[in-house]
Structure 1
Amino acid sequence: MFVGLVLAFALVAWRAADFLHGSLNVGNPIEQLNPPNGSVAWKMQHGQQVNLLLLGYGGAENDAPYLTDTLMTLRFDPNTHQALEISVPRDLKVDYKNIDGQAVDDKINTVYSNAMNVKSGDKDRGGKAAIQVMSQVTGLQYDGYVAVDFKAFRDVVDALGGVDVCLDSALDDNQYPNYSDGYVKGGIHFKAGCQHVNGEQALEIARSRHAEEASQASDFARAKRQQLIISAIKKKAQSGDAITKAPQLLNALQQDMSTNLTLTDLKAMYNWSKDVNDNSIKRISIDNTNFITDCDSGGAALCPLDSDYTVLHSYLANAFVDQGVLKEGAPIQVANASTSLPQMGDQVSASLQPLGFKTSTPVRTTPHPQSVIYDYSNGKYPQTVRWLSSYFHANVVKPSPGAEPTPDAPQGGVVVQLGRDFSVRWVGESS
């Protein structure tokens, strides 16, 4: 939902400021035609990839208003219309220096908060601090940030005069959270069919996780409701009636949304998003199934498997896989030939799937010093084999007839055998 919400807010901000012409010091037609070199709009105009940091925080209604519950990277390529949504868990432990110079060893969700709690005239201090730490984690260079809280969501919908939403079935949730670590008294209830909702109701529809109705209780149903809300915001923002509420819209966004992007950038983002189906955005979750692990007995904090994030940096740098590679549809199996990392095969196999690869159940095999790509396809998947060879720094071997380096090798497919050389990189030390 978060990426779609930010893009919807981009439309709202651009439409409102365009009407008021310059109330945010943008809307200059010259700048829109010739945006500043290196800006998001300029990079999109010149077909260059863009990385944005998206932050979601609780806001003033919470005890710790600036702690970030959501830390997400939106990475997109305007040439290929590929997009990645990369989530980093809020409980990831990081070492960093706050903007006041204080050394901090804490969870990554404190970075924005600690910077914002330092008195300063720099409104972007939290975003800048978060960008610096997130760059260390992901290896990406960020072109800007957007931070929003729940109040912004509610206020935008209310400033639009509410939105119309049509639910396929009723939605009843008696475990919907309130703002005091409890539940809303009596729960939340919405009938099936079309209805007009205000900001708080729109947020309830989007956030509900414990619906009594089976048809509304799944993650898929929740995602569908979120898309309904986002589409409703976009539709209302494009209406002529929304323009008359431009001052209220800008007020809602200025108070509860922070960004260092110009409206020229936001307009460029929105224009790009019109050609991108939200379902086509690839979603990568950095979690304990791939690159990080629990680092205390209670599981309350997470740490990287590789403290230098070298493998994660390589992974994200290669995450835009050429469509020609993916169209081959090669069946791939990961074989773990390390000496002492029994989970590595599962972790690597899981990491390949969000990129678009088809992987079968990974296997454990005899330890081997070197990684090898075994091509059982007789050259049927040349682009896939080249990509895997480059990514894993492994030589390609075409097995002789009858050779079976791994059990249950995919028929006519490709086996990625991960040796000790890769396992050393995977954990940043000798295995």
Structure 2
Amino acid sequence: MTKLDPSEDSLLGPNAVAEIVSIDDQAVKEPSRKPKRGRFGLILKVVIWLLLLTIAAYVVIIVHNVAKISTQPMSLSGLSGDSNGRVNILILGEGDAGHAGAGLTDTIMVMSFDPKTRQIAQISVPRDLRVNIPGYGYSKINAANAYGGVQLAEQTVSNTLGIPINYYILTNFSGLKSIVDAVGGLDINVKTALIDPDYPCDDNQYKACGLNIAPGPQHMNGSQVLDYTRCRKGTCGNDFGRAARQQEVLGLLRQKVLRWQTLANPVQVKALTEAMRTSLTTNLGAVQMAQLGWYWHRAQIHPTIQLVLSTSPGGYLTSASGSSDLLPADGSFAAIQSRVINIFTVPTASTDVPKT
């Protein structure tokens, strides 16, 4: 057999062997690469789809649990008041079952949100403010809920402040404790020592155990936060100081709930939704809560506007002679209503929040 000499001039040429080897290498290697890339792409697609399905299921579970909190049927409608440029939510806090003064609301606060400017305002109304409760005459405003439930409380607060109330949230002492514990507690900087020798015992509200909260930064659990927001005697700054601390805690709690570390933690989300389900009542639907949460998240770029109606110098209220009732300082609610209505446009005054 005649051997081919690569060095000879031929149809193969001098580099034919190298070319044959190169072609053979390509023929062998090329098919082996395509299946690998194909398998990797398929695996990546499967992983992405599984991730999306997991996220979707997670969202459905959250919405389902949150929907249990609402008194309203499931709806896709947006927030009432959104198109008018302001959403007002009445937040009411009452004692636990068996607590003295059933139905009386110790906490009365309106949280307003401006969707356009992304600003939040918190307005605290003292429980002893004397107002006209529709159908019942003049009484302390905290009695409205006891007389006619949340709807009457909404109407009374709306008439008093001169703004519509779009939604309400009703909770109790245990609710605050469980919600704070569900998010792992709160970091609070106590400005001054809070000493209340008459503070009631946890297991007996008619017995004084006293309270002493040291000043400075500290991490508080649910029970400690409740004490921080409830005390109003001694150095706690009466009902107005308590209202200011309640606003502070609400802001801190809102920030903690909306953190990605919280929302991405299934254990915390489950504990939080369960705490809300067992201790909150609201007419906000699940979709509206989600929309509100998104608004609140976007509003964190602005400081919260705070207003506590009080008898402090320059405040809007005065004490009635011979009683614990509080009255408008100028004899009518006109100045209060003007401040509340224009809270997003009128600069904050130093007298809006009493010092604690």
Q: Shorter-chain TM-score: what band?
A: 0.5 to 0.7
Using a 3 Å threshold, how does the CA distance of structure 1 residues 146 and 81 change in structure 2: closer, same or farther? same
**2:196–2:232 CA contact under 8 A, matched in 1:** no
Residue 113 (str. 1) matches residue 146 (str. 2): yes
Match of 1:134 in 2: 157
Indicate the structure whose relative CO is greater, using CA pairs within 8 Å and at least 6 residues apart.
2
The correspondence for 2:167, drawn from 144, 147, 157, is 144
Distance in 2, matches of 1:273 and 1:163, equals 20
The 10-residue stretch of structure 1 (17-26 or 50-59) with the greater mean CA deviation from structure 2: 17-26
Unmatched 5+ stretches in structure 2: 1-56, 236-240
Distance in 2, matches of 1:275 and 1:113, equals 36
Unmatched 5+ stretches in structure 1: 1-14, 116-125, 213-217, 327-350, 357-431
**2:129–2:141 CA contact under 8 A, matched in 1:** yes
Match of 2:344 in 1: 320
Match of 1:22 in 2: 64
Using a 3 Å threshold, how does the CA distance of structure 1 residues 352 and 93 change in structure 2: closer, same or farther? same
The alpha carbon displacement at 1:276 in A equals: 2.7
Partner SS for 1:86: strand
Using a 3 Å threshold, how does the CA distance of structure 1 residues 164 and 81 change in structure 2: closer, same or farther? closer
**2:196–2:231 CA contact under 8 A, matched in 1:** no
Using a 3 Å threshold, how does the CA distance of structure 1 residues 279 and 151 change in structure 2: closer, same or farther? farther
The alpha carbon displacement at 1:277 in A equals: 3.7
The correspondence for 1:295, drawn from 305, 314, 320, is 320
The alpha carbon displacement at 1:281 in A equals: 1.6
Distance in 2, matches of 1:35 and 1:16, equals 19
Partner SS for 1:319: coil
Distance in 2, matches of 1:307 and 1:73, equals 22
Kindly tell me the number of residue pairs found equivalent between the two proteins: 281
1:94 is matched by which residue type in structure 2?
V
Measured against aligned partners, the alpha-carbon deviations of 1:55-91 in whole angstroms (never above 9, x if no partner) come to 1222225112321112112222111123322222211
Residue 63 (str. 1) matches residue 87 (str. 2): no
Distance in 1, matches of 2:224 and 2:349, equals 38
Structure (1 or 2) with the greater helix fraction? 2
User: Which residues in structure 2 correspond to 1:99-110 (within 5 Å)?
Assistant: 103-110=136-143
Distance in 1, matches of 2:120 and 2:322, equals 36
**2:317–2:329 CA contact under 8 A, matched in 1:** yes
Using a 3 Å threshold, how does the CA distance of structure 1 residues 154 and 303 change in structure 2: closer, same or farther? same
Match of 2:51 in 1: none
Match of 2:334 in 1: 310
User: Which residues in structure 2 correspond to 1:129-208 (within 5 Å)?
Assistant: 129-159=152-182, 162-163=184-185, 165=187, 175=197, 177-179=200-202, 180-184=205-209, 198-204=221-227
Quick check: which has more Rg, 1 or 2? 2
Using a 3 Å threshold, how does the CA distance of structure 1 residues 291 and 231 change in structure 2: closer, same or farther? closer
**1:320–1:355 CA contact under 8 A, matched in 2:** no
Match of 1:53 in 2: 90
Partner SS for 1:106: strand
Match of 1:367 in 2: none
Partner SS for 1:140: coil
Match of 2:118 in 1: 81
Partner SS for 2:64: coil
Partner SS for 1:114: helix
**1:208–1:222 CA contact under 8 A, matched in 2:** no
TM-score by length of 2: 0.62
The alpha carbon displacement at 1:285 in A equals: 2.3
Partner SS for 1:254: helix
Measured against aligned partners, the alpha-carbon deviations of 1:369-419 in whole angstroms (never above 9, x if no partner) come to xxxxxxxxxxxxxxxxxxxxxxxxxxxxxxxxxxxxxxxxxxxxxxxxxxx
User: Which residues in structure 2 correspond to 1:348-427 (within 5 Å)?
Assistant: 353=350
Distance in 2, matches of 1:109 and 1:144, equals 18
Measured against aligned partners, the alpha-carbon deviations of 1:197-226 in whole angstroms (never above 9, x if no partner) come to 6532443466577999xxxxx99x968984
